[in-house]
Amino acid sequence: MARARLAVLASGRGSNLEALIAARREGRLHADIVLVAGNRPDAAALALARAAGIATLARESRGTGERAAWDRAFMAEVAAAGPDWIVLAGFMRRLDGVAIAPWVGRMLNIHPSLLPKHPGLDTHRRVLEAGDAEHGASVHFVTAELDAGPVLAQVRMPVHVDDTPASLARRLLPLEHRLLVACVALAAAGRVALRADQRVVVLDGTALDAPLRLDERQGLQRTAP
């Protein structure tokens, strides 16, 4: 079986990208990262990719006019690299639905909340304001609606009484890394798919009733709905 080809989209420091690169190097991810693309040419993620010998695509999205046209041109350049999967790893731009339509079912995003709770930005602050007892991260299939695609897997952690947005972010980040690597490994192995109705995740040919849950000792586990 040929190794899966991944394109990673990132806008920031690239810590999730770094986790994917490390997993590939250590043999935990059987896939090739063929492109790292970003909408911020000065993003640390792009520098990280270049240092690792990975091809990059940098296209500034600020002040470039009509959003949908930019999104479609950007995604056409990403597609030209020939990826099997596209992984959004801290990509801070909502892409046009038409631009991503060819990739629905082959595009994953990691989001720092227990979706469907707290889509969008500032999730750590919003968790505290809501008085949530748990926080976590989700890997979901990307669809046209923001952070609303079917969730493949989640990782959970308790919220402490003395937590701040910064402490939540700090504690969650290594869990995010493990979750993303585990999910991308499933995708690269051809074990996950999105059903044609774009509502249900299928693992090894069987529909999931609830998102997988990351157990630090046992990896991704099925859970009851």
Query: 135 an active-site residue?
Result: no
Between CA 123 and CA 168 the distance in angstroms is 10
224, burial (CB in 10 Å: exposed 0-12, middle 13-18, buried 19+): exposed
Neighbours of 148 (CB within 10 A): 14
Out of 111, 118, 135, 140, which one is annotated catalytic? 111
Q: Which sequence positions are flagged as catalytic?
A: 111
